[in-house]
A and B are shown apart, each in its own frame.
Chain A
C-alpha cells in the first residue's frame, strides 16, 4: 500500500534498498527536493509519521542523511534523503506532519541540519548554554569532553492580555518524579497555554550507543527509561537480530512476551493508583502499590530482578521459567485478578472520583491522529494502534489480542485503557504459561554486514517503541535511533491541557505519564 503510494507520486525517483532488515520494512532514497512530495504521498495514504531522524554517513564516504518513517496499519516505510556536508539543509515536513515539529528541532539541535521552512528553530534538548556549533551526533564531535557553558536565553512563548499570568514549574518537581519544565499561562484558574521544555535528563544515550558493541548496547537500551526496561531491551534486540539476520528460538520469544506483559501490568497498576491519588483518592494508590509490589517480588524470586532488567539480549533471553515458577505465577495472578476486580468496582462506583477524571484533559481523536500519538494515549483517543496486533511476534500471532479503544480522550479513558489492558495481560500470561514451547533460550548473533540497517517496533506499556540501527563500515554501530512513545506523546499532553484548571494539571499529567528520560535520551 505505502510503497504503491510512493511509486505513484515519485516513480523512478525513489530508489529502493535491499540493505534494510527486516525486508518487510520498505526503505527508499529520494532526491532532497522530493522529500516533501514523499510526505505528501504518505499523508494522502493516511499514513502516520512514526519517526524522523538524521544520520552522519561520512564514515561511508557520504554526507548526512535524513530519514522519515511512516506507518499505516501493519506497514512501515522509511524514506531517506541525502544531505551534503557543505549544504546541511533539508526540506521540513512540518507542513504535512505536526510531530515533525519536534523531531526536526531535535535533528537541528543535535545533528546541525537545518530543516528549511520549519517555523520554530529554538534548540530542543540542547540547552541555550551549549555552544551553538556543538552537534553531538556528528562524527566529528568529541563526545568524551565536557562542553563549556555559554550565555544564551530561551525564548518562551508568551501570552499577553489583562489578567494573564504565568506559572513556571520545574525542573525539580514537588513529587518523586523526573525533571522537566512546564510553563503555564493562565487566566484565573483556567490554563490558556502550556509550554513544555524537556531535555533536562539528556544523557547522550544515542551517541553512547556508538561506542558500544552490539551486545553491550542492550544494557544501555534497558536503561533508556527504567520503567520500560523490558520493552526497550526487546526492541533493541529485535533490531539487532533483524540486521544480523538471525532467528531466535521460539521459547525465547515467549519468555520475552511473558516479561513484557508483566512489565505492562506492574506499570499500569502503579499508574491507576497514581491517577486516583492525584484526584485525592489515596486508598487506590496504596492498594495498587501493594499489588505492584507483589509482582515485583515474584519477578525477583523467579527471574532474579525486580524489573526483569538485563534478562533480554540480542539472540534470546537469559532467564527461564520452570514448572514451579509457572505455578507461582498462576497463584499470584489469581490473587491479583481477584483484588484488582474489586478495586475496579470501587473505582467505577466512586462518584467523586468520576467527577474529577471524566471530561478532564481531553485529547480529541482528530488531534491525537494529527499528532501521530501512540500507545495508551492514542487508544484512549480513538486510534486503534497496537504493535501486538499489527506487528506481532510470537506468541502474539497465536491469539487475538483484545485492544481496548475508547474515544472520550479524557483522564478516565486513559485510566480505563489501562484497566482493560491489565485484564488482557493477565489472560495472555495465563496462555503463555500453558502453552510455552520447549527449546533453547538463545542463539549466537553474527556481526552485521557493513552499511545495513535494522528496524524493530515493540509495544511497550506506554506504546510503540522503535529502534533503528545502522552498521558502519566495519560492521560496528554507526547509529542507533531510539524513539520512545514519549517522543510523540508529550505533544499530546501539551494539546490536552488548555481549557483545564491549574489544579487538574497533575492529574492530567499522571494520566499521560510519559517518560522524561525516554524522551531526552
Chain B
C-alpha cells in the first residue's frame, strides 16, 4: 500500500503538462466544459461504437480517457448502454456485418442522438472504401452531425470534434 501511495505522490498530477503545443487542448477543454455545462448540465455521456474499424481509432479514444487528456474533467463520460447516451462516437467503415447492430444502437439512443463519425474510415470508408463487405462512411447508415478525419484521428482532434457537436459553432 505504501508503495502505491508513494507512486501516486511521485507521479503527481500528470494531466496537462502543457508544453506550448498542448495549450490547444486546454483551450478546447475549457470551451468544451463550458458548452457541456450549458447544454448537458455539466455531463455529456458518450457511447462508443466500433462499426468496423481496424481498432486504430479505438486506441485514440482510449487515449482521451488517459490521465494526460483526462476528458472526464470536462464532463465527458463513456457509458456502456446507448440508452443513457447523448452522443454516439462511431468509428470504422460500416461493415456489412455491423450495419444492423449500428442501426439498433442508434435506435436505442434517446434524443438529441448526436452522432460523431471518427477517422477517415468513419468519414468516407477510408482505405476500405465501399465493397461487398464495407458500406463506406457512417452516414451511409445513420445521420452524422460531425466528421473527424484522420487515420487515426488524434486525441486533440477528437476533443475538438466533440466540442463542435456539442456547441455547433466552432
Residues of A at the B interface (CB closer than 8 Å) are 127, 134, 136, 141-147, 171-172, 174-179, 199-205, 207-208, 219-220, 223-227, 229, 270, 283, 286-287, 289-290, 292-293, 296, 306-307, 309, 339, 342-343, 345-346, 349, 515-517, 520
- B:57-115 near A, CB below 8 Å: 57-63, 65-68, 78, 80-82, 92-93, 95-98, 101, 105
Quick check: A204 and B128 within 8 Å, CB to CB?
yes
B26 to chain A: closest CB distance in Å? 16
Binds A, one of B6-14, B28-36, B37-45: B6-14
Which single member of A134, A146, A203, A283 contacts B4 (CB below 8 Å)?
Answer: A283
Interface flag for B122 (CB, 8 Å)? no
Number of interface residues of B (CB under 8 A): 51
Quick check: B50 and A207 within 8 Å, CB to CB?
no
Please name 8 pairs of A and B residues whose Cβ atoms are closer than 8 Å in the assembled complex, sorted by A: A141-B132, A171-B98, A179-B50, A220-B127, A223-B54, A283-B8, A286-B67, A517-B55
Which single member of B80, B95, B154 contacts A203 (CB below 8 Å)?
Answer: B95
When chains A and B are docked, how far (Å) is the Cα of A208 from the Cα of B134? 11
Q: Chain B residues near A136 (CB, 8 Å)? A: 132-133
Q: Chain A residues near B51 (CB, 8 Å)? A: 179
Sorted nearest first, the 5 A-B pairs with minimum C-beta distance are A226-B56, A204-B133, A174-B80, A289-B66, A226-B54
When chains A and B are docked, how far (Å) is the Cα of A223 from the Cα of B52? 12
Quick check: B53 and A517 within 8 Å, CB to CB?
yes
Quick check: B132 and A343 within 8 Å, CB to CB?
no
Quick check: A172 and B105 within 8 Å, CB to CB?
yes
Quick check: B50 and A223 within 8 Å, CB to CB?
no
When chains A and B are docked, how far (Å) is the Cα of A175 from the Cα of B50? 10
Extra 17 A-B pairs, beta carbons < 8 Å, given A143-B132, A202-B96, A205-B128:
A134-B132, A136-B132, A142-B132, A143-B131, A176-B58, A178-B50, A201-B52, A201-B97, A201-B98, A203-B128, A207-B133, A208-B128, A208-B129, A227-B55, A287-B11, A290-B14, A293-B63
When chains A and B are docked, how far (Å) is the Cα of A207 from the Cα of B134? 12
B31 to chain A: closest CB distance in Å? 23
Q: Chain B residues near A177 (CB, 8 Å)? A: 50, 58
Interface flag for B145 (CB, 8 Å)? no
Q: Chain A residues near B105 (CB, 8 Å)? A: 172
Quick check: A202 and B97 within 8 Å, CB to CB?
yes
A505 to chain B: closest CB distance in Å? 15
A173 to chain B: closest CB distance in Å? 8
Quick check: B134 and A203 within 8 Å, CB to CB?
yes
Closest to A220 in B: B127
Quick check: A219 and B127 within 8 Å, CB to CB?
yes
Q: Chain A residues near B134 (CB, 8 Å)? A: 203-204
Q: Which of A203, A204, A224, A283 has the most CB of B within 10 A?
A: A203
When chains A and B are docked, how far (Å) is the Cα of A283 from the Cα of B7? 10
Q: Which of A127, A142, A224, A293 has the most CB of B within 10 A?
A: A293
Quick check: B55 and A516 within 8 Å, CB to CB?
yes
Interface flag for B130 (CB, 8 Å)? yes
Q: Chain A residues near B80 (CB, 8 Å)? A: 174-175
When chains A and B are docked, how far (Å) is the Cα of A343 from the Cα of B6? 11
A345 to chain B: closest CB distance in Å? 6
Quick check: B98 and A146 within 8 Å, CB to CB?
no
When chains A and B are docked, how far (Å) is the Cα of A293 from the Cα of B49? 23
Q: Chain A residues near B49 (CB, 8 Å)? A: 172
